[in-house]
A and B are shown apart, each in its own frame.
Chain A
Amino acid sequence: MRRWIILTVAALVLVGGATAGAFAAGWLPFGGGSLHGSAIDPPLPIVDAPLIGADGSEVRLADFRGKVVVLYFGYTYCPDVCPTTLANVARALKELGKRAEDVQVVMITVDPDRDTPEITQEYVSRFDPSFVGLGGDVERIREVATGMGVYFEKQERGSAGGYLVDHTATVLVLDRNGDLRLMLPYGLTGEQIANDLRWALKQ
């Protein structure tokens, strides 16, 4: 009897370990084991308030449906984290090659006082000409951001260069239906982002 218990426990541990290992290695298609970011399951509908594009026209994120949207909230005066992230996203697109045609990268400024839609567009174009920069009314931008758990706040910390903006540095990925599907933490490499985007493209 005792032997049976020991054998059963051993078998369970073996099976459990193997399953966990398979998840970790990404062999199993579900569970997002091979992702560097966190999958949102089920996909989360977003708050799609109207924003403004570089040509002054109204743009909603729903306009990009059909493509996987890589969304970033940042600002052009940000000299450190934003450019690092955008450069890595640009690298990820290069990794994806032809499949990058189904991906649209969008940056929404969290500093619309200084970043007009034109400035935002010019800024993101330097990373990749296909990137879209959006601005608009700060309250509309806040609605879109808050709907995805993105925080931003102007800070005065005695910088002679004017104010800085604290903001969530996470990269958000919308699926082809325009729902939030994936969140990528700050600091992923281009390759890691490309890996997760390949997954998002398959959803």
Chain B
Amino acid sequence: MMLSQVTTEKEWMVTHGKGWWPRARRAPGLVLLIVLALVALTACGGSEEAEAGGLRLDEPWARPGLASPGQSTMSHDETDEATDDNSAHGGHGGGGTSAIFLTISNPGNEDDRLVAATTDVAEVVEIHRSTIDASGVMRMEPIDGVTIPAGGKAELKPGAEHIMLIGLTRDLEVGDRFSATLKFERAGEMTIEVEVREP
């Protein structure tokens, strides 16, 4: 992968190098170094990685969502009331939903378990699982945790387990970033930075 990219860059230099970047031809070794560094940077920059307690959290992302979808019909009073007391209204205060997805790797020797999550961009944060049965019916349900097997990983992805954000307190636009804290049985709390992007 890396090798082929370097070769492509080099080929590009050969065919396009003239006049574009004269130094490139004089110091091919330096160019190769720069290209390698760039490739390495790109590889790292593409994913958000966090490591603590032996777990590795890769590429956390969330869907875009609005704090107040279709709120034009709802008065501020109603919104505030619902925010203060979710359960009495059987739901959240009209804020939209989103979900956090990521891959959690566990290189350790013992299973760990994601049991909860918090973030200030949502009133309620739950761990949910979506399943699709043979007849195409989608079911989503709260679950009490996700196991990350020793030496394995858990993928929280669309159509499977995810961290559901209910009652967004602010709009999540593509490109936004926010932090969330995940709580694990063994590893304890880990804070991640989540990028909002299109699925």
**Once the chains bind, are B137 and A159 in contact (CB under 8 Å)?**
no
- For A78, A126, A157, A162, the residue with the greatest tally of chain B CB atoms inside 10 Å of its CB is A162
Expressed in whole angstroms, the Cα–Cα distance for A161 and B128 within the complex equals 11
Interface residues in A156-190 by Cβ distance below 8 A to B read 157-164, 166-170, 185-187
Q: Does B90 contact A (CB under 8 A)?
A: yes
Q: Does B114 contact A (CB under 8 A)?
A: no
Expressed in whole angstroms, the Cα–Cα distance for A22 and B199 within the complex equals 34
User: Could you tell me the distance in whole angstroms from the C-beta of B70 to the nearest C-beta in chain A?
Assistant: 3
Interface residues in A123-154 by Cβ distance below 8 A to B read 123, 126, 151
Report chain B residues within 8 Å CB of A80. 99, 128, 130, 140, 158-159, 162, 164
**Once the chains bind, are A164 and B73 in contact (CB under 8 Å)?**
no
Given contacts A81-B132, A186-B132, contact A160 B87 (CB under 8 A): yes
**Once the chains bind, are B124 and A160 in contact (CB under 8 Å)?**
yes
Q: Does B167 contact A (CB under 8 A)?
A: yes
Stretch of B48-56, B61-69, B105-113, B186-194 on the interface side: B61-69
Expressed in whole angstroms, the Cα–Cα distance for A118 and B165 within the complex equals 22
Expressed in whole angstroms, the Cα–Cα distance for A169 and B132 within the complex equals 8
**Once the chains bind, are B158 and A161 in contact (CB under 8 Å)?**
no
**Once the chains bind, are A83 and B63 in contact (CB under 8 Å)?**
yes
Given contacts A84-B199, A123-B69, A168-B136, contact A114 B164 (CB under 8 A): no
**Once the chains bind, are A167 and B137 in contact (CB under 8 Å)?**
yes
Report chain B residues within 8 Å CB of A187. 132, 159
User: Could you tell me the distance in whole angstroms from the C-beta of B116 to the nearest C-beta in chain A?
Assistant: 12
**Once the chains bind, are A151 and B137 in contact (CB under 8 Å)?**
yes
**Once the chains bind, are B69 and A79 in contact (CB under 8 Å)?**
no
Expressed in whole angstroms, the Cα–Cα distance for A164 and B73 within the complex equals 22
**Once the chains bind, are B162 and A161 in contact (CB under 8 Å)?**
no
Q: Does B138 contact A (CB under 8 A)?
A: yes
**Once the chains bind, are A163 and B91 in contact (CB under 8 Å)?**
yes
Closest B residue by C-beta to A166: B139
**Once the chains bind, are A163 and B69 in contact (CB under 8 Å)?**
no
Q: Does A76 contact B (CB under 8 A)?
A: yes
User: Could you tell me the distance in whole angstroms from the C-beta of A117 to the nearest C-beta in chain B?
Assistant: 9
Expressed in whole angstroms, the Cα–Cα distance for A122 and B198 within the complex equals 17
User: Could you tell me the distance in whole angstroms from the C-beta of B145 to the nearest C-beta in chain A?
Assistant: 14
**Once the chains bind, are A77 and B70 in contact (CB under 8 Å)?**
no
User: Could you tell me the distance in whole angstroms from the C-beta of A93 to the nearest C-beta in chain B?
Assistant: 14
Q: Does A49 contact B (CB under 8 A)?
A: no
User: Could you tell me the distance in whole angstroms from the C-beta of B172 to the nearest C-beta in chain A?
Assistant: 11
**Once the chains bind, are A81 and B130 in contact (CB under 8 Å)?**
yes
Our pick among B126, B128, B136 for the contact of A169 (Cβ within 8 Å) is B136
Interface residues in A81-131 by Cβ distance below 8 A to B read 81, 83-84, 87-88, 114, 116, 118-119, 122-123, 126
**Once the chains bind, are A158 and B69 in contact (CB under 8 Å)?**
no
**Once the chains bind, are B128 and A116 in contact (CB under 8 Å)?**
no
A-B contact pairs, 25 of them (CB 8 A): A79-B63, A79-B98, A79-B99, A79-B164, A80-B99, A81-B140, A81-B159, A83-B199, A84-B158, A88-B199, A119-B70, A122-B70, A155-B141, A159-B141, A159-B166, A161-B97, A161-B167, A162-B91, A163-B90, A163-B91, A164-B141, A166-B140, A167-B138, A169-B137, A169-B138
**Beyond A161-B86, A161-B164, A162-B166, 12 additional pairs, beta carbon < 8 A:** A76-B69, A79-B63, A79-B162, A79-B164, A88-B199, A118-B73, A122-B70, A158-B142, A159-B126, A159-B141, A168-B136, A168-B137
B residues with a Cβ closer than 8 A to A are 63-66, 69-70, 72-73, 86-87, 90-92, 96-99, 124, 126, 128, 130, 132, 135-142, 158-159, 162, 164-167, 198-199
Closest 3 A/B residue pairs (Cβ): A162-B91, A161-B166, A119-B70
